[in-house]
Amino acid sequence: MRQPLTARQREALDYITYCLDERGYPPTLREIGEHMGIRSTNGVNDHLKALERKGYLVREELKSRALRPVGHDDQKVSIPILGQVAAGQPILAQENISDRVTIDRFFVGKAPSKEVFGLVIRGDSMIEDGIYDGDYIFVRKQSTAENGEIAVVMIEGEATCKRVFHEGDRVRLQPANETMAPIYVHRSEFRAIDVIGKVVGVYRKLH
């Protein structure tokens, strides 16, 4: 049975785990010190050595960032799934999180998990791109999309998933369904249109 941790040792271990989960790599000694209010890296080292001695942390001495909590699986990430978003509400607001899914990092690539959120697809507008009703899409937060990229776009407070094409003084939001017409947003219309993020992965639950 492992020895119990002190409050400060627990704080250090929790911060290392948080950094791994949120950005995909552990913090430096300096970052741990700043987080915990410890000016000396020697002071941070004392906590890390105690965590190692008690069996909570594995560290490779020659690598400044090689800190790994025992049992931590950095190939898994937790992604927030956003529920229905009312018009005018920010799509990324904390209160809109309806669920979380833990997935292999493969599905979202190298993007830090805090930059990725999930949405549930409703409808058949993207079926020819392999995105079906009820699928989760994983979206990396960014405010631009290159021509042809699949993105989540807000139009007048409504979120939609489409391929984005910039065509002179208009934007074409193209569905991947030959039975559906594209959405055109002309600059002269002054309609509020914002790219929320780029789709980086699709996840389907098998029932």
The residues annotated as belonging to the active site are: 125, 162
The DSSP line for the chain is -PPPPPHHHHHHHHHHHHHHHHHSSPPPHHHHHHHHT---HHHHHHHHHHHHHTTSEEE-TT-TT-EEETT--TTEEEEEEE----TTS-TT-GGGEEEEEEEEGGGTTTS-GGGEEEEE--SSTTGGGT--TT-EEEEEE-S---TT-EEEEEETTEEEEEEEEEETTEEEEE-S-TTSPPEEEEGGGT--EEEEEEEEEEE----
Rounded CA-CA distance 79/65 in Å is 24
